[in-house]
Amino acid sequence: MLFSSPEFIFLFLPVVTLVTWALARQSDLAAKIFLIFASVVFYTISGFLDVVVLAVSLAANFALAMAIERGRHAKLYLIVGIVFDVAILGYFKYFDFLTDTVNTAFGREVSHGEFRHLPLAISFFTFQQIAFLIDVHRGRIRRPNLGNYVFFLFFFPHLIAGPITSYLPISRQVDLKRVFTPRVRNICFGLALFSVGLAKKVLIADPLGQYVKPFFAEPEALGFWTAWLSALGYSFQIYFDFSGYSDMAIGLGMLFNIRLPLNFASPYKSRSIQEFWRRWHITLSNWLRDYIYIPLGGNRHGSVRTYANLVATMLIGGIWHGAGWGFVVWGLVHGLGLAANRFYARMGMPRLPRAVAWPLTFLFVTFAWILFRSATLGDAIVHLEAMVDPAGIFTDSYRPFLTVANLNRMIALVVVAGLVAFLAPPAALIAGVTILPNRRAAMRAALWCGLIFGLALLAFTGQTSTNEFIYFRF
């Protein structure tokens, strides 16, 4: 079920919210159990196998966490748990990729069969469970509560595509008395943030996705202008799609007084690749830092080791995103970019002026997105070559991809998306205005959020809301 679907907005969400609020007035436990049940129903819609995989993973990880906490052979149980989680992720997500790679490299015919279903959100809940085991082993989590752990994993706002959360902050909130009792300020903020996220998804990301698709389907037909237009289109599509989901997730959490972590902070305003990763998919960046980069040694063992750790961390981040060489190279490119950024700073070189640093960072990210979006690494190379081939400036044609009317709409949408991404304040800041003491400013912000919510609802008639979020199958 999509957050941006009429079924969710007009049926699932109102029923779940009202029932939870009603139960919360009588019993915190009843409200928590109902929210868990509703979240299981929400996830079951994606497929019964998905629920089975998540339930098995949950049970195994909690049992291993209990064994780790007892102290005897704790490190062994931690290793078993991490191997178990990675094995499940590898089987469902990477088995086909690995066998195809082996077949190509060695001329073998290792068969992987026709079945390889990818459970929804498997990458997200795998990372969350690995972090849970490590935190128990480090002593950060003591005596984890099974009910809170189930809630932490299944809570439907963040279940599908994050933000990546930690057990401890969620558990502490769930343990508060009357936590699910409705609070006007949180409801106002949550609905405003959900509206902004919905507008990002339905009014910008979905139309851009439809326009961009034919360009990436036929990379060999790209010229200079069409290659750049599609690259920019996808850069804005993935930003508004994923940040829109995160805004909606955080807003939904606030309806139940559960604070989920910020995941985006206007990343396309960044002036370095390091700053970009502090603003883009913040919870993934924090996870990679805390559970990969620092355990590898971080910056504690000299410059060369630091650069190697940065590259290795981002390489793992690329592999986490998907089973394909494009994701691997995308992660490698960002790792090298972070290493170069750090080297430049350590050499004491003058800081680049904003007018130079900002476009350089955005162009770097945009070029890298081609690796992320293209069906194959070969297609990505063709696309990138077209972007730097001046011969295509005078011979390029949009006709293999779009009609004149759709071309004009796409260009206009790319311009609007760019203005919003580069100039508009973060969504959380916009939503925060609705709960300011200044009633006039709060009412004005609420009206604007209501307006864009209405425009997003009107877009349902165009069936744009049926498009899945990009990160749903990562």
**What mean pLDDT do residues 337-348 have?**
91
Residue 473: predicted pLDDT: 59
Which whole number is the average pLDDT over 233-255? 97
Query: How many whole angstroms separate alpha carbon 171 and alpha carbon 163?
Result: 16
29 and 107 share a domain?
A: yes
Instruction: Give the span between the Cα atoms of 338 and 273, in whole angstroms.
Output: 6
What's the mean per-residue pLDDT of the chain? 92
Domain contains 165:
yes
Question: At which of 152, 182, 212 does a domain end?
Answer: 182
Residue 153 and residue 65 in contact, taking contact as beta carbons nearer than 8 Å? no
DSSP reduced 3-state for 186 = helix
266: left (phi over 0), alpha (psi -120 to 50) or beta: left
Evaluate whether residue 1 is within a structural domain.
Answer: no
How many Å apart are CA 235 and CA 212, to the nearest integer? 10
The pLDDT of 107-135, averaged and rounded, is 80
Residues 176 and 240 grouped into a single domain? no
Residue 68 belongs to some domain of the structure: yes
For residues 258 and 208, state if they share a domain: yes
Please state the three-class secondary structure of 139-168 as a single string: CCCCCCCHHHHHHHHHCHHHHCCCCCCCHH
The answer to whether residues 130 and 250 belong to one domain is no
One domain for residues 29 and 155: yes
* pLDDT (average), residues 20-36: 96
Given a cut of 60, is residue 442 above it in pLDDT?
Answer: yes
Does 31 score more than 50 pLDDT?
Answer: yes
The conformation of residue 265, written as its DSSP 8-state character, comes to S
The SS3 of residue 115 is coil
Confidence of residue 460 (pLDDT cuts 50, 70, 90): confident
> End of a domain among 158, 182, 206?
182
**Any domain includes 360:** yes
Report how far residue 197's alpha carbon sits from residue 40's, in angstroms, rounded to the nearest whole number. Answer: 23
Residue 265, number of CB atoms within 10 A of its CB: 17
Q: Specify if 279 maps to a domain.
A: no
Determine whether 437 is exposed, middle or buried from the number of CB atoms within 10 Å of its CB (0-12, 13-18, 19+): exposed
- One-letter amino acid at 83 equals V
pLDDT digits (tens, 9 = 90+) for 41-74: 999 987 888 899 999 999 999 999 999 999 889 9
The single-letter DSSP state of residue 311 is H
Are the CB atoms for 319 and 331 separated by under 8 Å?
yes
Residues 165 and 228 in one domain: no
Q: 206-215, 303-312, 376-385, 392-401 — which is least confidently predicted?
A: 392-401
Same domain (yes/no): 46, 176: yes
The last residue of one of the domains, among 132, 151, 182, is 182
- Residue 190's alpha-carbon distances to 7, 171, 255, 393, in angstroms, are 19, 20, 6, 47
Contacts of 451 (CB under 8 A, 6+ apart): none
Question: Which residue is associated with the tokens 């290792």?
Answer: 110
pLDDT reported for residue 71:
86
Pairwise CA distance, residues 89 & 411, whole Å: 39
Which positions are catalytic? 321
Q: Quick check: 427 pLDDT over 70?
A: yes
Location of structure tokens 């920019």: 232
The predicted structure's pLDDT at residue 121: 87
pLDDT average, residue stretch 450-471: 76
Give the type of residue at 262: L
Q: Is the pLDDT of residue 464 over 80?
A: no
- Mean pLDDT on 195-201: 96
Question: Total structural domains in the chain?
Answer: 2
User: pLDDT value at position 407?
Assistant: 95
Alpha carbons 292 and 327: distance in angstroms, whole number:
18
Placement of tokens 């690494």 in the chain: 377
Residue 347 maps to a domain? no
Closest CA to 121 of 166, 72, 96, 88: 88
- Domain check: are 222 and 253 in the same one? yes
Instruction: Say if residue 115's pLDDT is above 60.
Output: no
Peptide bond into 426 cis (omega under 30): no
Structure tokens at 316: 């793992």
50 and 190 in a single domain? The answer is: no
Domain carrying residue 204: 185-271+352-468
Overall residue count recorded for the chain in this entry: 474
* pLDDT beyond 70 at 408: yes
Q: 152 and 225 share a domain?
A: no
461/162: higher pLDDT: 162
**Residue written as tokens 């959360």?**
165
Mean predicted confidence (pLDDT) in 435-464: 86
Residue 231 sits in the same domain as residue 104: no
Which two three-digit tokens encode residue 277?
């990763």
Q: Which has the closest alpha carbon to 52: 61, 39, 43?
A: 43
pLDDT band at 255 (very low <50, low <70, confident <90, very high): very high
